[in-house]
Amino acid sequence: MKVLVTGASGFLGRTVVEHMLAAGHEVRTFQRRPSGVPGASDVLGSVTDVGDVDRAAGGMDAIVHLAAKVSLAGDRADFTAVNVGGTQNMLEAARRHGVGSFVQVSSPSVAHAGDSIVGDDALPADPAHARGDYARTKAEAELVALAADSEELRVVAVRPHLVWGPGDTQLVERVVERARAGRLPLLGDGTALIDSTYVDNAASAILAALHRADVVHGQSYVVTNGEPRMVAELLEGICRAAGVRPPQWKVAAGLARAAGGAIEAVWAIRPGADEPPMTRFLAEQLSTAHWFDQRRTRRDLDWTPGVSIEEGLARLAVSYR
């Protein structure tokens, strides 16, 4: 199968391409800079440019769409242009070129309204209540993608939750950097149970969704390791793998949420050079339970995770050594 993977220069995108190639697919990547994956052919451009998108999609049998603006802060219009407009552009190009399958890589945050998630399946994407511009626009994009589902263009939405592993700059690197600087607190008592997904498991699930698109199209699936851990336990595992001291101090969850809201307001006026140290969304993610029922995902996708959290942490430790 000829597969176009967007956003392949990112952490999960590169891993998806590697899994696609290992499965025998012919892979073309589409992003703003080279993917760096041997065996894949790169097309450089932006999902916001219709001409670039059209050039990338021509001759493809399937599209796996990962490209997105992922950030805790930023201009709302940029999130909309990339996450919603980019998805619309990819879908329109898919229809023009007769692409048969489309995997929309989404996020569980599209259905998270700030409360605990305890054993839920994939709830409907809800832009009106999603927390922050990233989650809101990803929710809008998922709804746009699923609305385009048909027998001619089979669309599946996959929501990997909290993806991590060696080379991760979004979760692992930030945790390690802040722990090393003594700026990584536990919010509340650190006992909230959260799911996470080792990167190879997320990639294999996306591949499984592509292979099963003719059967499961029109559906959304949350993907995790299926091994909920306490926030404190997961952070400690990452820190110890990297050889840094785990969090030693705590902040009340309510105080962290209030501080996150205040920082967001300041950041909107005078953004810093990096991500804000705290946002309301991040405080909620680190202080509320969010773990998911994986039975439908595993049954429908005919998939099980191949790397446990313990094995993933061992691989992470090797990468740091």
Mind listing the pLDDT tens digit of every residue in the chain (321 residues)? Answer: 999 999 999 999 999 999 999 999 999 999 999 988 999 999 999 999 999 999 999 999 999 999 998 876 567 899 899 999 999 999 999 999 999 999 999 999 998 876 778 888 988 998 998 888 889 999 999 999 999 999 999 999 999 999 999 999 888 888 888 888 888 777 777 888 999 999 999 999 999 999 999 999 999 999 999 999 998 899 999 999 999 998 876 666 565 555 555 555 555 566 555 555 555 556 666 667 889 999 999 999 999 999 999 999 999 999 988
In this prediction, residue 269 carries a pLDDT of: 60
pLDDT of amino acid 178: 85
pTM of the model: 0.92
pLDDT score, position 189: 78
Identify the pLDDT of residue 76: 84
Catalytic, 134? Answer yes
Q: What span, in angstroms and rounded, lies between the C-alpha atoms of 237 and 309?
A: 9
What is the predicted pLDDT for the residue at 230?
Answer: 92
How confident is the model at residue 146, as a pLDDT?
A: 98
189 to 146, 172, 193, 230, 308: CA distances (angstroms):
39, 21, 11, 10, 25
Question: What pLDDT does 263 receive?
Answer: 52
Give the pLDDT confidence score for residue 266 in this predicted structure: 53
What pLDDT shows up at residue 170?
A: 81
Q: 2-161+198-224 architecture in CATH?
A: 3-Layer(aba) Sandwich (3.40)
SS (H, E, C) the chain: CEEEEECCCCHHHHHHHHHHHHCCCEEEEEECCCCCCCCCEEEECCCCCHHHHHHHHCCCCEEEECCCCCCCCCCHHHHHHHHHHHHHHHHHHHHHCCCCEEEEECCHHHHCCCCCEEEECCCCCCCCCCCCHHHHHHHHHHHHHHHCCCCCCEEEEEEECCEECCCCCCCHHHHHHHHHCCCCCEECCCCCEECCEEHHHHHHHHHHHHHCHHHHCCCEEEECCCCCEEHHHHHHHHHHHHCCCCCCCEECHHHHHHHHHHHHHHHHHCCCCCCCCCCHHHHHHHHCCEEECCHHHHHHHCCCCCCCHHHHHHHHHHHHC
- What pLDDT does residue 182 have? 83
Q: Are 164 and 157 in contact (CB under 8 A)?
A: no
The catalytically annotated residue of 134, 198, 221, 320 is 134
Give the C-alpha separation, 4 to 105, whole Å: 13
In our burial notation (b when 16+ CB lie closer than 10 A, e otherwise), range 15-28 reads bbbbbbbeeebebb
| Strands 186-187 vs 250-251: parallel, antiparallel or unpaired | parallel
Residue 139: closest CA among 46, 213, 68 = 68
Q: What's the confidence (pLDDT) of residue 279?
A: 57
Q: How far apart, in whole angstroms, are the C-alpha atoms of residue 321 and residue 312?
A: 14
pLDDT of residue 283: 60
Residue 190: its pLDDT value, please?
81
